[in-house]
Structure 1
Amino acid sequence: MKKTAILAGLTGALLASAALADGTTLNVGMGTADAGTLDPHVATTTPDKGLLHWMFNGLVRIKPGEASPEFIEPDIAESWTTSDDGLTWTFKLRDDVDCQGEYGNLDAEDVVYSLKRSANPDTSSFAKDYAPISSIEATGEYEVTITLAHAIPSLLGLLVPYHGGNIVCQDAVEALGDDFKTHPIGTGPFMFAEYQPQQYVKLVANPEYFRGEPQIKEIYYRYIPSDAARDLAFQAGEIDMIYGRQDQTWVERISKVPNTHVAVMTPGEMSVLHLNMTKPPLDDIRVRKAIAHAINIDAMTEFRGRDVTLPAISPVPEGYLGYSDDVPVYEYSIDKAKALLTEAGYPDGITIHAIHTTLPGMLATIEVIQALLREAGINLEIETVEHATFHSQIREDASQVVHYSAARFPVADTYLTQFFHSDAIVGTPTAITNFSHCDVADEEIEAARTEPNAEKQLELWATAQRKIMEEVCAVPIYQNLQLWAWKDNLDLGADIHASLNLSPAVTEKAHFTE
C-alpha cells in the first residue's frame, strides 16, 4: 500500500506534461529535494552542476562522454594560439553562437564579461581559480586574449563549461539581476523554461543552438530525494534517466530492470572527512590521528561496493595529474585510536559535531563513519539539514567536522588549492572549501603552480600531499564513482564513459529510438 501511494503521487506529477509520451520529452529523476542556485558561477552542488551542464558552453569543452583533459576540444572558441612562454593565449571565437532567448549574438565582450565575473569573489564561488589571470581583453569582435601572470597547470581546464568556465551572456545577467540565479541564460543546447520549487526545472530545446536544434524538445529535471520513490518511478517508466544511490546494491538491483542501461562513470567524487584543526579537541593532532585510525577504509569501500568505489589514500584523488600514494597511511586500529585519545587527555572519549546533508548517499556514509568512531569512544553528533543549507552552513565555518564529497578538474593543483591552501579557508575573504583550516603545504602548492619542470612539479605536489596527511588535516575515505541509469531506447548522442559535471552529457544529438 505504501509503495502504491508513493507511485500514485509521482504519477500525478509526472503526467502534468502532455508531451510525456511523445518521444521528445526526457524525464530525469535527481536525488535531492530542490535546486540550490542555478547561477553557474555560484552553483557548487552535484544536482545543480548536472543540470547546468546541459545549458551552457565554455570556450573549450571536454568531448561529451569523457572527463580527461586529453579530450579537450573547441566549443565557443573554434581555435586558439599560445605564446612561446605560455603566458598569452588568444582565442578565435565562432561568430554563430547566440544567447538563448532574445539576448542576441554572443561576441568577445560577452566572453570577457563572463570570465571577469568568474574571477570576481562577489559574483563567483570559483574566483580563486582565476587569480593567475592578469588580463582578459577583447582583441577583436570575435577574439579574446588572456594573459597570465605566471604559468599554471591548465588554463584550458578553467575554460571548459564547468564552474567558472560556463560562459554567460552580459545582457541577460544584467537584465535579470538577482533573478538570474533561478532563470539562467546560456548558449547551450537546452534553455531554461520553468522552475517549480521542490518539484522540477523544465528545460526546452534551443532552436538556435549553433550545433543544430536538439532532437529532445523538453527536459523535466525532477527533484525526488527518496531513493525508493525515484527507483519506483524509473521502474514504472515515468522516469527515463535516474541518478543512482551510490552503492553496489543499487547497481545490482537496477541492472535487473528490463531495457535498462546502467553507467558507472568517472571521475569519482572523493568522500573526505575534513577536521577543523582550530576547534578543540581537533586542534590536538593526537585526536585527529585517533579519528584516522578508527575509520576502516577497507570496510567503507566494501560497504559501498568494490565495483563502484575506489579506496582513498591521498588528499588528491587517484587518477588526477599529480596524485601520489607516497603518504602516511593510518591503518585501522581501535587500540591505537583509544591509546592516542588517552595520551591526549581523553581516556573517556570525545564528542565532536558535524552538520550534514540529507542527501541519501552521503548520509549513509557518515552514519557508517559514526558507527566506526563510536567503537573508539568518539561520539560523532550529526545535525542533518537540506543539501543547499548544508553547503551554506559549512562555508560559514559552522561545523567541527565536514564530510564533503567532490570531483574537480583532474589536476592536483585544483584539489590542493581549493581544499588545503590557507587562502581557501572558510570564513575568510578568499574562502573556497578549506574546511580544516589546513595551511601546512602552502609553500609546495604555490611553487608547483609555476614550476616549469614537470618532474619537479610532481615532486612538489607529492610533498604537499605528504604534509597534509602527516598533519591529518582530513581523512580521505573513498571515491564514489558516478551512478546513473537510463532506458535503452534513450540514445544520448555520445558514448558515456565519464562526466566532469557529474551528469551524463545530453547533447543536441540525444534522442529516443522508439
Structure 2
Amino acid sequence: MKRTIGTTLISLLMAGSALAAGETLNIGMGSADAGKLDPHVATSTPDKGLLHWMFNGLVRIKPGEASPANIEPDIAESWTASEDGLTWTFKLREDVECHGDYGALDAEDVVYSLNRSANADVSAFAKDYTAFDSVEATGDYEVTIKLKNPVPSLLGMLVPYHGGNIVCKDAVEALGADFERTPIGTGPFMFEEYQPQQYVKLVANPEYFRGEPKIKEIYYRYIPSDASRDLAFQSGEIDMIYGKQDQTWVERISKIPGTKVAVMKPGEMSVIHLNMTMPPLDDVRVRRAIAHAVNRDAMVQFKGPDVTLAAVSPVPEGYLGFTDDVPTYEYSIEKAKALLAEAGHPDGVTIKAIHTTLPGMITTMEAIQALLREADINLEIETVEHATFHEQIRKDLSQVTHYSAARFPVADTYLTQFFHSDSIVGTPTAVTNFSHCAVADEEITGARVATDPEKQLELWAEAQRKIMDEVCAIPIVQSLQLWAWKDTLDLGVEVNGSLNLSPPVTEAAHFTE
C-alpha cells in the first residue's frame, strides 16, 4: 500500500507540467475519495476545505481566523443595513471573474447563487436561509437582501462556507449535473481534473481579483490510511497533510525536521445522536443510561488533552449562545445498568450504527463502543465509505449516528440544523436532525426572531437544557483541526483557525525555497 501510494504520486508529479520547483503544492487528505463538489451540496470535511480554495462569498472571515469578529469584504466591497436589520444592501466589486470562459460575475450571479442556496431541492443548507424574504439585483453590481425577521448573524450566512459560496449562474446552468464534479467558482484556484479515489487537481486562477496565486497547481490527494499519509509526508512526497485527530500524531509529526504543526479552531464537535423513534432508544431511560456510560474524561485523554475539549452541551463551547448550565450525566456504570434494568433490559441492549471509515471519526466511535460495552450496551458498527455514510444517515437508516461537525459559531445554526423538528431527516425540510428531537422548537424559533440579545441568550440556554434533559444526543468532545506542512511553505498568514477546517491556501501562499 505504501509503495503504491508513493509510486503513484511520484509518477503523477513527473507526468505533470514542467513547472519550476516550488510551484506545485501536494496535499494529503484523510479520505478515500471526493464527495460532491457542488459547494451548496458538499457537507463533508474533506470537500469543504477543497472548495474553500475555489469559491468566494460576499464577505469572508480573515484568512487564518475562525471567529466572526474577523469578517471582512470579499466579493462585496461594502454593505449597509437598515435600522431594523431587515434590509441589507451590498455593493459588489466589478473585477471578479468566473473561472474558465464564464465571464465576469455580477449581481445576477449573486442573486442566483443565494436563491439556489435557499432552494431545498438543490441545497443541503436551504434551512439556513428561511429568513430570506427576497434577494434582488438593485444594480448591475448591487444586491439587496430583505429578511422576514432579524437573524443572529446575517453576515455569517454570506461567508464562503456552505450556502454562502457564490457560484456562477452560466456555469451551473451549462454544466447541469456535471457541476457536482466540475465546480466553477471565482476563487484563487480553479478546478482542473478529478481522478476517482486518487486526487483532485487545481490550477492557479490568473484572473483572480486579489492577484494571481504564486502556487500554480495543487494536487489534493486522497490517502485514507494514516500510516500511508504520514509516510508520504515524511518522505517529502506530500507538502501538507491532514492529521489524525489525536495527541500522538502531533507529537510524532512534530519530530520530523522542517515541519510546522497547526492545531486549529473551531473544533469539530463529536456528538452521538440517538434516534428516539427506534426501540430501545424510544425510552429516555435507555438514552440516559447511554449518557452515563460515556466517560468524557477518558475520551479527552484518548484523543489528547492538548487537541481535544470535553463537550457538555449540544452547542459547542465558544459559540455565541453556548451554556454549560445543562443537565449532565456523570460517568457511572452502576447508574447506567440500573436505568437499563428499570427500562426492562437487565441483560443490556444492542444498538446499531452506520459509520464512516474516515480515520479520525472511526477511532472515536470505536472508543465509545468499548466504553458502552462496560455497561452491557452492545454497539454494532457497520462501516461504509464517507460519502455513502452521509447518504445513508440522511435517509434515516442509522439507529445511532456519530456526527462530527463545526458550523458558523452562533448557537442558532447548531440548534436549528441538529435539533429543530423541521430538520428531522427523512422529512421534506430535512437537514441533520438524526435524533428526531422536537423538544426545543419553541425556544429555537423564538431566539431566531428575538430582538433583545439577552432574551435571545436565555432562549438558547433553555433550548440546550431541554435537549440534554431529553438526551436527544450525547455531546462527546470537540476535536481541534490538525494539519502539518513543510516549513518551507509560507501561507502568508498566521494560522489560528479556519471555519472550513483546512489551512488557508490563498494567492499569498508560496514556497520559500
Give me the TM-score of the superposition, normalised by structure 2. 0.99
Amino acid aligned to 2:198: Q
Match of 2:209 in 1: 210
Residue pairs, 1:497-512, within 5 angstroms: 497-512=496-511
Match of 2:367 in 1: 368
- Report Cα offsets for 1:205-262 as digits up to 9, x if no partner: 0000000000000000000000000000000111000000000000000000000000
Match of 2:33 in 1: 34
Amino acid aligned to 2:335: K
Residue pairs, 1:202-351, within 5 angstroms: 202-351=201-350
Q: Does the aligned pair in 2 maintain the 1:19–1:25 contact within 8 Å?
A: no
Match of 2:477 in 1: 478
**Offset at residue 20 of structure 1 (A):** 7.3
Question: Helix, strand or coil: the match of 1:270?
Answer: strand
**Offset at residue 9 of structure 1 (A):** 4.9
**Offset at residue 12 of structure 1 (A):** 3.7
- Report Cα offsets for 1:32-87 as digits up to 9, x if no partner: 01000000000000000000000000000000000111000000000000101010
Distance 1:337 1:21 in 2: 62
| Mapped pair 1:432 → 2:418 | no
Q: Does the aligned pair in 1 maintain the 2:6–2:237 contact within 8 Å?
A: no
> How much is the aligned-residue C-alpha RMSD, in angstroms?
1.0
Match of 1:146 in 2: 145
**Offset at residue 3 of structure 1 (A):** 5.3
**Offset at residue 22 of structure 1 (A):** 1.4
Question: Helix, strand or coil: the match of 1:486?
Answer: strand
Q: Does the aligned pair in 2 maintain the 1:14–1:238 contact within 8 Å?
A: no
- Report Cα offsets for 1:13-45 as digits up to 9, x if no partner: 454435477110000000001000000000000
Match of 1:464 in 2: 463
- Report Cα offsets for 1:414-448 as digits up to 9, x if no partner: 00000000000000000000000000000000000
Question: Helix, strand or coil: the match of 1:261?
Answer: strand
Distance 1:405 1:236 in 2: 31
Distance 1:388 1:438 in 2: 24
Match of 2:453 in 1: 454
Residue pairs, 1:111-126, within 5 angstroms: 111-126=110-125
- Report Cα offsets for 1:168-194 as digits up to 9, x if no partner: 000000000000000000000000000
Amino acid aligned to 1:171: D
Match of 1:399 in 2: 398
Question: Helix, strand or coil: the match of 1:448?
Answer: helix
Distance 2:223 2:12 in 1: 11
| Mapped pair 1:171 → 2:154 | no
Distance 1:163 1:20 in 2: 33
**Offset at residue 8 of structure 1 (A):** 4.1
Distance 1:396 1:188 in 2: 33
Residues 238 and 18 (structure 1 numbering): CA distance in 2 closer, same or farther, change over 3 Å? farther
Match of 1:200 in 2: 199
Residue pairs, 1:26-65, within 5 angstroms: 26-65=25-64
Distance 1:33 1:26 in 2: 19
Distance 2:431 2:18 in 1: 42
Amino acid aligned to 2:80: T
Distance 1:387 1:75 in 2: 31
Residues 110 and 18 (structure 1 numbering): CA distance in 2 closer, same or farther, change over 3 Å? closer
Amino acid aligned to 2:438: D
Distance 1:67 1:306 in 2: 21
Amino acid aligned to 1:442: D
Question: Helix, strand or coil: the match of 2:138?
Answer: strand
**Offset at residue 7 of structure 1 (A):** 3.9
Question: Helix, strand or coil: the match of 1:177?
Answer: helix
**Offset at residue 456 of structure 1 (A):** 1.0
Amino acid aligned to 1:350: V
Question: Helix, strand or coil: the match of 1:186?
Answer: coil
Structure 2 gaps, min length 5: none
Question: Helix, strand or coil: the match of 1:444?
Answer: helix
Residues 49 and 105 (structure 1 numbering): CA distance in 2 closer, same or farther, change over 3 Å? same
Q: Taking every aligned residue pair, what percent have the same amino acid on both sides?
A: 79
Deviates more, 1:6-15 or 1:129-138: 6-15
Question: Helix, strand or coil: the match of 2:458?
Answer: helix
Match of 2:440 in 1: 441
Distance 2:16 2:64 in 1: 29
Distance 1:372 1:455 in 2: 39
Match of 2:75 in 1: 76
- Report Cα offsets for 1:86-130 as digits up to 9, x if no partner: 100000000110111100010100000000000001110000100
Residues 19 and 499 (structure 1 numbering): CA distance in 2 closer, same or farther, change over 3 Å? farther
Question: Helix, strand or coil: the match of 1:185?
Answer: coil
Distance 1:139 1:432 in 2: 31
Q: Does the aligned pair in 1 maintain the 2:37–2:47 contact within 8 Å?
A: yes
| Mapped pair 1:488 → 2:487 | yes
Question: Helix, strand or coil: the match of 2:360?
Answer: helix
Q: Does the aligned pair in 2 maintain the 1:309–1:481 contact within 8 Å?
A: yes
Distance 1:427 1:21 in 2: 51
Match of 1:66 in 2: 65
Question: Helix, strand or coil: the match of 1:164?
Answer: helix
Distance 1:435 1:502 in 2: 23
| Mapped pair 1:353 → 2:344 | no
Distance 2:79 2:486 in 1: 39
Distance 1:365 1:154 in 2: 32
